[in-house]
Amino acid sequence: MTEIAELTGQVKCNGASPSCSRCAARGEAAPTLSYTKQLESRVAQLEDALSKLRGEGEAELRKASSPSSVAESSSSGPKIKADPDTQDLAREFDGLNVENDGRISFHGPTSLFQLPSGAVNETASTSHYAQELEARKERLVNSAWRERAFEQMAVMPQPYQYLLDSHWCWIQPLWNFVYRPAFTRDMKINGPYYSDILLNAILSHSVRWCKAEPQIGPLLDSYDGGAQFSHRALTGVFDSLKSGYAGIPTIQTLLLLSAQECGRGNRTQAWLYSGMAFRLLDDLGISIDSRKYSGSAQLSDEDIEIRNRLFWGCYFWDKVVSLYFGRAPTMQHLRVSPPRMILDDTAEIETWTPHGVTFPDGAHYPPTQAHSTSCFMKMCGLAEVLNQILIHIYDPNRPSTASEFYDCVQEQSRSLADWWEDLPEYLKLSAMNLPPYSPPSHIVILNCFYHTINILLHRPILCSRDLLKIRQETHDSSHLVQCMASATTILSLFDLYRRTFGDSHVVLSLAYSIYTAASIFLLEIQALKYAAPGTLDKLKFCIFALERVKAANPVIVTALNLISLELQKLQINIHSALPAGQPEPGQDHHYQHQPPSYTHPHRPQHSQSPSLNSNPSRHVSPGQHQPQPQPQSSMSTHTQTTGSEHSLMQGYNNFQHPGATFDMRGGEMPQMPPTHLLGGMPNAVMTIDDPGSYEITPEVFEAFSYAQPITTNMTPGFGQGWGGPPQ
């Protein structure tokens, strides 16, 4: 008690000379007055510093709970370096346990599975952590290259090897569910990061796109067309859940099964499988930053890498499946969540080749760097922005006030702008200056996903009558331009994609972007009560693109039905033999034959469509081929009378085979028009690079405010609400 009292200042030297009674009794030299004052000054400094740190921590907590926090996290980029907020890790988490059978599980202090402990361990300093990070990265990269070399020497029978290669090419770079080096290594030794269940899930997922390919289709006959893989994965995962033994391969299997059922349109199965995966993520403690477990569980470099990747793969899939089904997202990125960081970046510099695509004689896909790691990291940044949009605009269980809605639009607009500004040039695609061939599929999908989110953010502003009345600033033309330009850009990017690879490997996320673009062209016709030829051409392109990819993604049939119902409401026959934009006899005459004059040219010199060279070239690595400007022309301004849906879109079907015009020697490919004329008006050029070029009158906003867009989800069994402020 005496020592404690002394430390708190209750007993101290009284400065008596030659020695105070306390110091004499203890046989100690009395401290000088100057030394005492130094100590008091130091204590005051430390108390002041502690007070400031507490204030900053509270401010950070308030900031993290607001939508604006996403802007900073999503625009920071995937920098592989020490986290500046390492002080958040000052105390470790108790609760991560290694059980007798080797499994790692997480239980909080209130659980039945552990006693609460008051002892905490201090983690290493920031400088020590930075050094350890570099060492971990070096070890992981060396191990990854070694396993990739062993993988090249391994021999696997067909169709297993073909289906696996398809997964590594078209799926893995986008979602990162499976860590390839650990999976292929443990496949040989039956290690913890491989299971037959996971292998069958990968094979079953790849069958969706590969079963129509002539070199692999016949081999699948002995597997019931690939159905055996799905059956084995399903029975295996439920057996593992029944036994209570579920590890990381079980989570990965459930994610792949969820994606597969989502593409089939089986929404209940897809939702349940993803939910089980997210629950298992918490059960294994993966949703907590592994750096907090250094004392309670010995995690290897590879363990931490896999857990970080899996968390962000789940986070991304949670946002996408919530978007598809019109539901609120489940997973949130908290201060204790794993950092958005990948140390093993070997996939960044690998060469990407379009697996399963056969090009015409004399044509080949040039050597192209994959950029898989940076692409996935930037996709996760987009997912953080989408999370805020889903919560504050589209959550059916939590309607936002008009103020919250508008604030979210403003803040996430800045987040998207920052994200695009920070996007590396080798990942950035501009519709005004596309390369002669498509970059890797995941890069195209990244750009399309950005434009999809841009539409989902700005579209509700156009359809909010009450918001237009109370906030005059919502008359800003940029909302309309952003939607129109992003929709047009999606079509230009998909046009480049299919001319290079065909449309047999189109994943659902890319098809959803086309569906979202179609909603904007439908919205224009509904608002302006006029079907301009260029708008109908783009709408036809969307419909025929979705028709061709529905074999691998049957849920697209629902999307097509929703578009068809909207066309019926608008009394537009997309199969009409009349010239585009001309109504049929008996059609409602409020759809005009001439475009309405709704715009005023802000800059007269822009009365024509801008040149394709108006922007600096943005090359895809390797960008040695310069795109050649093409005259702007619509895909199809007239259609022929025929019963075949494919004959209605000759411009699309001319390039249904991969590489039909893929001529690297010529260095050019025909492109869709990269701009859009609102209502066919020559002065209303919609381009995302210059959204303020034209002043659009309030009548346009009034017209759009009465329009009702089609649902964001493709499953009419769920709610049809589009989100937005209360009307």
- pLDDT 10s digits, 449-474: 999 999 999 988 876 656 555 555 54
Pairwise CA distance, residues 384 & 78, whole Å: 13
* Structure tokens that stand for 541 in this block: 């392109």
pLDDT of 669 reads 33
Residue 29 lies in a domain: no
| 324 and 436 share one domain | no
Could you tell me the two tokens for 183? Answer: 């999976």
Q: Cα 688–694–699 angle (5° rounding)?
A: 110
Confidence (pLDDT) at 168: 97
Q: Which of 248-262, 264-278, 495-509, 649-663 has the lowest mean pLDDT?
A: 649-663
Q: Are residues 483 and 615 in the same domain?
A: yes
Query: Whole-angstrom Cα distance, residue 632 to residue 229?
Result: 47
Nearest to residue 173, comparing CAs of 545, 660, 657, 505? Answer: 505
* DSSP-assigned letter for residue 394: I
- Give the range among 70-79, 545-554, 671-680, 693-702 with minimum mean pLDDT: 70-79
CA–CA dist 273, 266 (Å, integer): 11
pLDDT at 477: 67
Q: How much of the chain exceeds pLDDT 70, in percent?
A: 60
In the DSSP assignment, the letter for residue 77 is: -
- What DSSP letter does each residue of 300-323 carry, written as one string? -HHHHHHHHHHHHHHHHHHHHHHH
Render pLDDT for 101-110 as a digit per residue (tens, 0 to 9): 666 677 666 6
Least confident interval from 192-206, 274-288, 621-635: 621-635
Q: Which DSSP helix (H) or strand (E) runs through 686?
A: strand 685-686
* Lowest mean per-residue pLDDT among 146-160, 270-284, 615-629: 615-629
What is the mean pLDDT of the segment spanning 237-256? Answer: 93
Instruction: Report if residue 676 sits inside a domain.
Output: yes
**One domain for residues 306 and 435:** no
Please determine, for residue 516, whether its predicted confidence score (pLDDT) is greater than 90.
yes
Backbone φ and ψ of 536, nearest 5°: -65, -40
From the list 629, 187, 675, 264, the residue with the least C-alpha distance to 431 is: 675
Contact 549, 511 (CB under 8 A): yes
Average pLDDT of 502-521?
Answer: 94
315 and 433 both lie in a single domain = no
List the alpha helices (DSSP H) in 284-401.
301-325, 372-389
Question: What single letter denotes the amino acid at residue 80?
Answer: I
Tokens coding 522: 């439908």
Q: State how far the Cα of 171 lies from the Cα of 259, in Å rounded to an integer.
A: 11
Reading the block at residue 621, the tokens are 């690595």
pLDDT confidence of residue 638: 33
Rounded to 5, what percent of the chain is helix, strand, coil?
A: 55, 5, 45
Cα(492)–Cα(431) distance, integer angstroms = 6
pLDDT at 213: 87
What pLDDT, on the 0 to 100 scale, is given for residue 484? 87
Domain boundary among 311, 331, 351: 331
Q: Any idea which of 57-61, 186-190, 500-504, 518-522 has the lowest mean pLDDT?
A: 57-61
**φ, ψ of residue 98 in degrees (nearest 5):** -95, 115
Domain check: are 283 and 137 in the same one?
yes
pLDDT, position 670: 38
Pick 201 or 597 by higher pLDDT. 201
- Rounded distance between C-alpha atoms, residue 22 and residue 44, angstroms: 25
Which of 400, 514, 512, 503 has the alpha carbon at shortest distance from 460? 400
* Environment class of 85 (CB within 10 Å of its CB; exposed 0-12, middle 13-18, buried 19+): exposed
pLDDT value of position 182: 95
Average pLDDT over residues 160-172: 96
Would you say residue 353 lies in a domain? no
Amino acid occupying residue 700? V
Residue 362 banded pLDDT, cuts 50, 70, 90: confident
pLDDT for position 244: 84
Predicted confidence (pLDDT) at residue 426 exceeds the cutoff of 50: yes
Q: What is the C-alpha to C-alpha distance for residues 549 and 547, in angstroms, rounded to an integer?
A: 6
Q: What is the 3-state secondary structure (H, E, C) of 563-632?
A: HHHHHHHCCCCCCCCCCCCCCCCCCCCCCCCCCCCCEEECCHHHCCCCCCCCCCCCCCCCCCCCCCCCCC
Give per-residue pLDDT as tens, 671-701: 566 666 565 454 555 555 555 445 555 555 5
354 belongs to a structural domain: no
CA distances from 725 to 209, 612, 700, 721 (A): 40, 38, 20, 11
Residue 666 has pLDDT above 80, yes or no: no
- 160 or 68: whose pLDDT is higher? 160
- Residue 677, helix vs strand vs coil: strand
Q: Domain of residue 209: give its range.
A: 92-331
Q: Which of 384, 704, 332, 699 is nearest to 520 (CA)?
A: 704
- pLDDT tier for residue 590 given thresholds of 50, 70 and 90: very low
Average pLDDT, the chain: 74
Q: Are 672 and 495 in contact (CB under 8 A)?
A: yes
CA pair distance 339, 81, nearest whole angstrom = 11
Query: Does the pLDDT at position 156 exceed 90?
Result: no
- Could you say which of 313, 331, 349 is where a domain stops? 331
Report residue 532's pLDDT band, with 50, 70 and 90 as the boundaries. confident
pTM of the complete model: 0.73
Same domain, 322 and 430: no
Asked if 320 and 456 sit in the same domain, the reply is: no
Same domain for 438 and 319: no
Q: Pick the residue with more confidence: 72 or 384?
A: 384
- Weakest-pLDDT range from 302-306, 576-580, 619-623, 686-690: 619-623
Is residue 392 within 8 Å of 329, Cβ to Cβ?
A: no
What per-residue confidence (pLDDT) applies to 630?
41
Sign of CA dihedral 680, 685, 687, 691: negative
What is the signed CA dihedral for 365, 371, 372, 375, rounded to 10 degrees?
-120
Sequence-separated (6 or more) residues with CB below 8 Å from residue 195: 236, 240, 247, 249, 250, 253
Q: What is the pLDDT of residues 106-155, one digit of tens each?
A: 766 666 666 555 544 444 555 566 777 888 888 888 888 888 887 877 77
Say yes or no to pLDDT of 203 above 90. yes
- Do 327 and 473 reside in the same domain of the chain? no
Per DSSP, the three-state class of 382 is: helix
DSSP 80-117: -S--TTGGGGSBPPS-EEE-TTS-EEE--TTSSSS---
Residue 607 falls inside a structural domain: yes
Instruction: Compute the average pLDDT of residues 636-653.
Output: 39
In a domain, 603, yes or no: yes
Same domain? 297 vs 436: no
Same domain (yes/no): 313, 449: no
Closest CA to 477 of 221, 699, 718: 699
Looking at residue 438, its amino acid is S
Nearest to 540 by CA among 675, 636, 647, 641: 636
Closest alpha carbon to 310 in 343, 281, 267: 281
**Does residue 218 lie within any of the structural domains?**
yes
Of all helices (H) and strands (E), which one includes residue 396? none
Domain count, the chain: 2
Q: What angle do CA 23, 28, 30 make, to 5 degrees?
A: 60
Decide if pLDDT at 306 tops 90.
yes
Of 331, 347, 370, the residue at which a domain comes to its end is 331
Tell whether 169 is covered by a domain.
Answer: yes
Mean pLDDT of 332-344: 91
Same domain (yes/no): 468, 589: yes
* Rounded-to-integer distance, Cα 726 and Cα 400, Å: 7
Q: How confident is the model at residue 593 (pLDDT cuts 50, 70, 90)?
A: very low
Cβ contacts of 617 within 8 Å, gap of 6 or more:
433, 623, 626, 627
Amino acid at 319: K
